[in-house]
Amino acid sequence: MIPQKEIVLIGDLENVTSSETSREFFSVSQEEGFIVDLSGKDNKARSFILTGETIYYSMINSKTLADRLNRPIEKNNYLENTP
């Protein structure tokens, strides 16, 4: 799990990679080892999470990730908001 305070951006991978500049950014990031692929065995990444030092690929839709980020976490049958 990525700490919320470290997240800079959650983006849709398909929309972002349509730009030549973005494709180059992701290519260089991959070559330099800044990308962690969490999308599973099939490598069907749908979104990415950008932090200060790492880009994480995820198989979960970017809207779903953003919704989860903004939803309170249920812990021990109590709702707890995280900063």
Q: Which pLDDT tens digit goes with each residue over 1-54?
A: 788 889 999 999 988 888 999 999 999 999 999 999 999 878 789 999 999 999
> What is the tally of structural domains in the chain?
1
Asked whether the beta carbons of 65 and 47 are under 8 A apart, the reply is yes
- Asked if the structure places residue 2 within a domain, the reply is no
This prediction's pTM: 0.79
Tens digits of per-residue pLDDT, 49-64?
999 999 999 999 999 9
- Asked if the structure places residue 78 within a domain, the reply is no
Q: Which domain holds residue 59?
A: 7-72
- The token duo for 17 is 């990679």
Of 10, 13, 16, the C-alpha closest to 69 is: 10
Which three-class secondary structure state does DSSP give residue 67? helix
- Asked if the structure places residue 23 within a domain, the reply is yes
- The token duo for 74 is 């249920």
- Asked if the structure places residue 82 within a domain, the reply is no
CA distance 14 to 82: 30
- Asked if the structure places residue 63 within a domain, the reply is yes
